[in-house]
Structure 1
Amino acid sequence: MQNAFRRIDQSKTFQLFVIAVILISALTVGAHTYELRPSMESALNIMDMAITIFFLVELVIRYLASDGIRAFFKKGWNIFDLVIVLGSLYPAAGSTIFVARLLRIFRVLRLVSMVPELRVLVNALIKAIPQMGYIGLLMFVIFYIYAAIGSMLFGDINPTLWSDVSISMLTLFRVATFEDWTDVMYETMEVYSLSWIYYLTFIFLTAFIFLNMMVGTILEVMSEEHKLLREEQNPDADTMATSQEIQALHQKIDQLQSTLSEMNKNRH
């Protein structure tokens, strides 16, 4: 029976059907935001209950297809799906209807656990957070230094933008996101003609260097996650590639040996 449930769980048809149900669930959640007739509202509630029961059955099938409770909970995505499905069982009646619908919105996130490519993106983002945290810390230091300098230099020009360090950091965030930053620069250039150096160096550090560092970190982790996904989907691929390379190397050695032997014969 475990093999039968495993074939069902790994079936492409079954997975596509689950994805279709997730999309239908998302549409029902969106439909609840409109003013509908009582009959339509009742039909949506019945459909919502059927979707919740299906998700529960699908989760049971996945559990029966796994090698015991430890193997099931070893995968973080199974825990994620379990929490969402259990949240969907929250009764939608009376004063709790808002909370129940709010919990059902998160069923759309199950699409992430069902599509491997989306799992790769989320896993890469989660694994990149520690490295991005150090980059963010360094960015905060740069923001703080420039904010302190800006508050001392431009505080008298426009106290609304440069009165203290915290306000100056908000202004610098506006500059870093290029939200009318030239207006801020031209205002200070009327008093300090060389203040453009302050803005250009800040933009160069934050918008160009640190942003590219974050993108590079995410891309590096994503390449590792794609490699793990390929190994998971086809674990014998690397072994086959290695054996093919070894076979090709042996053929080249044989050709080289035959060429050397012919050259020796020609010499004699």
Structure 2
Amino acid sequence: MPRPRALRHALAQRARALTEARWFALSVFALIIANAVLLGAETYSGLAREWHHWLHLAEHLCIAAFTVEIAVRVCAHADRPRDFFRDPWNLFDMAVVACAFLPLVRENTTVLRLLRLARVLRTARFLPQLRIVIVAVARSLPGTVSFLLVGALLLYLYAMVGWVFFSEANPGQYGSLGRAVLTLFLLMTLDGLGDAVHAGLEISRWSIVYYASYVLIASFVLVNVLIGVVISSLEEARELEREQSPTPDAPSAPASVPPSIPAPAPIPAPAPVPDPDVDLRTRIAIARKALDDLEAVLPPFLAAHPPGPAAAPVPARDTARS
């Protein structure tokens, strides 16, 4: 009998092949868009009353389809279930689908519609650029919180200064701390700045310094800092998406030769055995050529270097005496 581990591995492979198919992603994306269209159709009272039964049936079909999708994604991680819960998008999808089965949520129409609206955010799973933007917004939250704290301190400081100088002459905008904060918050968008400057000049010429410094710090410096934080988070999100994107597998080694064992060197072919008759004729030809060269060089050499007188032969008797 096959082992349970082998069964889980086979199930995970089949489910993974299904979830990685292009038609599966397109089907889920189309289902999410259809669910968003149904949610928008329910906002028309006449259409909702006339097609109430069909809209209710379509909602149940969407829930069933989303449940099957989540089940297939869970099966795709049957051999390594921890990896499923490490992906935040998987947790988000499971939470949105699971909440539709809770009794308290099903009884509360407002909460149920909000959860159905959250399904539209699942389109980010199938759109890489939208997913990068959402991740960038989430990563920029710490910097945005710091920006909000600095902006709140700036608003409080200028609101107190504006209340001190303009509360009596302009109580409608600076009569209290709350009114002053609201006025300066609107001025941060440069809306009504001209009217505020003209009204301030009627009170004091120094009001131009107040408004100019506030607009320079709030509308230019702080807003550019916020844009810088968002752009930096967007680059980080792109780098993170690039790291998590699957890379093409390297070409594998041939099945006959393991990667760790080098391939054997080719065996050289044996040298041909020379023919004895051919080898003898070659040697004779070489010897003849050497003799011809010697005969051509020897006469000039003897003419340039004549041999000396030959030594006299020794008498035989002297040789015998000695």
- Bin of the TM-score, shorter chain as denominator length: 0.7 to 0.9
The one-letter code matched in structure 2 to 1:179 is D
State the shift of 1:39 in Å: 5.6
Q: What is the match of residue 26 of structure 1?
A: 36
Q: What is the match of residue 61 of structure 1?
A: 72
Largest Rg, 1 or 2: 2
Q: What is the match of residue 232 of structure 1?
A: 244
The one-letter code matched in structure 1 to 2:42 is H
Q: Bigger CA drift: 48-57 or 127-136?
A: 127-136
Equivalences for residues 6-85 of structure 1 within 5 A:
6-34=16-44, 35-36=46-47, 40-66=51-77, 67-85=79-97
More helix by share: 1
Q: Distance in 2 between matches of 1:98 and 1:175?
A: 36
Give 2:186's match in structure 1, choosing from 162, 166, 174.
Answer: 174
Q: Distance in 2 between matches of 1:94 and 1:122?
A: 28
The 3 A distance-change label for structure 1 pair 234 and 81 is closer
State the shift of 1:80 in Å: 1.0
Give per-residue Cα distances to partners, 1:104-133, cap 9 Å, x unaligned: 222212212332222211111111111222
CA contact under 8 A between 2:42 and 2:48: conserved in structure 1?
A: no
The one-letter code matched in structure 1 to 2:112 is A
State the shift of 1:165 in Å: 2.6
Aligned residue-pair number: 238
Equivalences for residues 127-138 of structure 1 within 5 A:
127-138=139-150
State the shift of 1:98 in Å: 4.2
Q: TM-score, normalised by structure 1?
A: 0.81
Answer yes or no: is 1:204 the counterpart of 2:194: no
Q: Tell me the SS of whatever aligns to 1:36.
A: helix
> Sequence identity, in percent?
28
Give 1:146's match in structure 2, choosing from 132, 149, 158.
Answer: 158
CA contact under 8 A between 2:144 and 2:226: conserved in structure 1?
A: yes
Q: Tell me the SS of whatever aligns to 1:190.
A: helix
State the shift of 1:37 in Å: 6.6
The 3 A distance-change label for structure 1 pair 188 and 80 is same
Q: Distance in 1 between matches of 2:192 and 2:48?
A: 47
Answer yes or no: is 1:157 the counterpart of 2:169: yes
Q: Distance in 1 between matches of 2:230 and 2:180?
A: 29
Q: Distance in 2 between matches of 1:25 and 1:48?
A: 7
CA contact under 8 A between 2:39 and 2:116: conserved in structure 1?
A: yes
Unpaired runs of at least 5, structure 2 = 1-10, 251-322
Q: Distance in 2 between matches of 1:210 and 1:201?
A: 12
The one-letter code matched in structure 2 to 1:199 is Y
Aligned CA RMSD, in angstroms, stands at 2.4
CA contact under 8 A between 1:6 and 1:62: conserved in structure 2?
A: yes
CA contact under 8 A between 2:19 and 2:72: conserved in structure 1?
A: yes
The 3 A distance-change label for structure 1 pair 30 and 142 is same
The 3 A distance-change label for structure 1 pair 82 and 146 is same
The 3 A distance-change label for structure 1 pair 45 and 216 is same
Q: Bigger CA drift: 22-31 or 136-145?
A: 136-145
Equivalences for residues 257-268 of structure 1 within 5 A:
none
State the shift of 1:95 in Å: 6.2
